[in-house]
Amino acid sequence: MTAHILLIEDDIELARLVEDFLQHEGFQVSQCGNALTAKKLLLARGFDLIVCDVMLPGSNGFDLVRQIRQQFKGPILFMTAQTSVAAQLEGLQLGAQDYLLKPLDPRILLAKIRIFLSEQHSSASSGDLLQQGNLHIDKRAGIATVAGHDINLTGSELQLLTSLIDNYPVVVSRERLFREQLGREYDGADRTFDGRASRLRRKLQAVDPHWNIRNIWGKGYCISYNSAEDTP
């Protein structure tokens, strides 16, 4: 899956240069120039990392991060001309992974992004916490959230979702699900997981309609995310 970066920068020329550079390096980039639009995008789409200016029209970057940090668990990089030590400390204390000073060589930004995405993937793919885009699972607490909203799942639905995210984007076979989650072999006719997948799909899409649980005929199930750009 291509990493999706949210670039929040009101300097149109700089934003275009950074967006073009990152897209050339294989990333998907959504760009906006103010905090209000950024919050709307975060609710509508799944992002893996945020690059945020501090001096924005209206609400500044620090205020924005204060408002979204509980919702967005991925890496946040400030990229700004605010060079004071106090500003740098404030940005880092808000939970940002780094504070990059303009003017910045885009190769340095690229290196930082790759480092933090690699760390995010490692931490999100192991232990009790799982993440894929704006979907988070805390296996120990038995909680799943989408775009910061708790999803009311049964134990069996959470178990199915966890298996699909654990194996994303690979299809998980019915045979495996029956053995691991029901303790019996699949008889070729039982539709238990069809019902669970359907209910899980409805609950996810009630919060973010871009999530989908796909029933792959003759194979099993997989979870996918279709961004707004992919929707006809």
Dist CA 152 CA 225 (whole Å): 20
Q: How far is CA 199 from the centre of its chain?
A: 22
Are 92 and 133 found together in one domain? no
One digit per residue, the tens of pLDDT, for the chain of length 232 reads 578 899 999 999 999 999 999 999 999 999 999 999 998 888 777 788 999 999 999 889 999 999 888 778 789 999 999 889 999 999 888 888 999 999 889 999 999 999 888 876 655 545 678 888 889 888 878 889 998 888 999 999 999 999 999 888 889 999 999 999 998 999 999 999 999 999 999 999 999 999 999 999 889 999 998 864 444 3
Full strand arrangement of the beta sheet holding 76-80: 28-32, 4-8, 49-52, 76-80, 98-101
Q: What is the pLDDT of residue 100?
A: 92
pTM of the entire predicted model: 0.57
Using the 3D structure, point to which of 124, 144, 165 is the last residue of a domain: 124
Please say whether the beta carbons of 45 and 37 come within 8 A: no
Please say whether the beta carbons of 41 and 30 come within 8 A: yes
50 lies in which domain range? 4-124
Are 116 and 49 found together in one domain? yes
Are 87 and 38 found together in one domain? yes
Are 150 and 183 found together in one domain? yes
* CA-closest candidate to residue 203, choices 219, 223, 221, 189: 223
Using the 3D structure, point to which of 124, 144, 172 is the last residue of a domain: 124
Using the 3D structure, point to which of 124, 146, 169 is the last residue of a domain: 124
Return phi, psi of residue 7, to 5°. Answer: -105, 120
Q: What is the pLDDT of residue 111?
A: 93
Are 201 and 94 found together in one domain? no
Say which CATH number the domain at 190 has.
1.10.10.10
The interaxial angle of helices 106-124 and 12-24, nearest 10 deg, is: 60
Residue 190 φ/ψ region, left for φ over 0, alpha for ψ in the -120 to 50 degree band, beta for the rest: beta
Are 108 and 134 found together in one domain? no
Are 9 and 115 found together in one domain? yes
Say which CATH number the domain at 11 has.
3.40.50.2300
Dist CA 190 CA 178 (whole Å): 10
Q: What is the pLDDT of residue 198?
A: 96
Are 119 and 133 found together in one domain? no
